[in-house]
Amino acid sequence: MLKIKSAELVSVCGVSSKLPEPTLPEFAFVGRSNVGKSTLINGLMNRKALARTSSKPGKTQTINFYKIVLAKGGSAFFLVDLPGYGYTTAGPAIKAQWGRMVSNYLGDTGRLRAIFLLLDIRHKPSADDKQMYEWIIDGSHTPIIIATKADKIKKSQLTKQLKLLRDTLTLASGTAVIPYSSQTKEGLGEICALLRSPL
Ligand code: GTP
Ligand code: MG
């Protein structure tokens, strides 16, 4: 776990707002709506509800910058919570606006230390997931894949599900895939280690 001195929400960007000036390394969390981005960010911050979550998809509709200051040495970075894609009840105009907002942010690659792409361990990655993966690769980033909700499958299915994920996305060899569960905290230590010593 990270020893955190402080964690606070410092910027919220809507479709029409300008991105904040990059000041600290940023770790972005992307993935389909409801995959568990905000939940993972809470897990990393060791907070129950600083990042708002919901059982209904489409909870996060803005780009939210959480500033983390570590207890030891005082090093600091941002965890950036993005709106999810594939949220079907949003109208096409709204979806297009979110798409532009997210791609504008992710395209500003100088500010990004790493991108975490979250995928639900239970499901075959969707066409949207595949597109997002390819888009990240095209932007010269190697995403860290987080397979969320690992508590929802049997241990005996783990290898099979991870293979399905790797094969469907045709992941570049050496791409990290980390199973994570907000319930059991499986994977938390590994993800924290990546934040402490970024790629
Ligand atoms: P958007 O903001 O809509 O893009 O969704 P999100 O990706 O931020 O998802 P969120 O963190 O709000 O989680 C969606 C739902 O999944 C919530 O009900 C969470 O409690 C649940 N959830 C997230 N991670 C896990 C997990 O590891 N295990 C289980 N069992 N449930 C999880
Ligand atoms: Mg969210």
Task: Give 85-116 pLDDT, tens digit per residue.
Answer: 887 677 788 778 888 888 889 988 889 999 99
**143 in contact with ligand 1, CB cutoff 6 A:** no
pTM attached to this predicted model: 0.95
Cα(90) to ligand 2 centroid in Å equals 15
Taking the chain, what is the end-to-end CA distance rounded to the nearest angstrom?
18
As a whole-number percent, the residues of the chain with pLDDT over 70 amount to: 98
Task: With beta carbons less than 8 A apart as the criterion, state whether 56 and 108 touch.
Answer: no
Which ligand 1 atom lies nearest to the CA of residue 57? Answer: 3
Domain boundaries, the chain: 4-196
Ligand 1, closest atom to CA 54? 12
**Which ligand sits nearest to residue 33's alpha carbon?**
1
Ligand closest to 49 (CA) is 1
| Residues with Cβ within 8 Å of residue 162, at least 6 apart in sequence | 121, 147, 177, 179
CA distance 154 to 30: 25
Q: Which atom of ligand 1 is nearest to the CA of 118?
A: 7
The pLDDT value recorded for residue 77 is 96
> What is the residue type of 147?
A
Cβ neighbours of residue 146 under 8 Å, at least 6 residues apart? 31, 40, 116, 117, 118, 119, 177, 178, 179, 180, 187, 191
In the 8-state DSSP scheme, what is residue 157?
G
Please give the single-letter amino acid code of residue 150.
A
pLDDT in tens, 35-45: 999 999 999 99
Mean pLDDT of 126-138: 92
Cβ(83) to ligand 1 under 6 A? yes
User: Is the distance from the beta carbon of residue 64 to the nearest atom of ligand 1 less than 6 Å?
Assistant: no
> What's the CATH superfamily of 4-196?
P-loop containing nucleotide triphosphate hydrolases (3.40.50.300)
In 3-state terms the chain splits into helix, strand, coil percentages (rounded to 5) of 35, 25, 40
Taking the CA of 179 as reference, the closest ligand is 1
Q: What confidence score (pLDDT) does residue 58 get?
A: 81
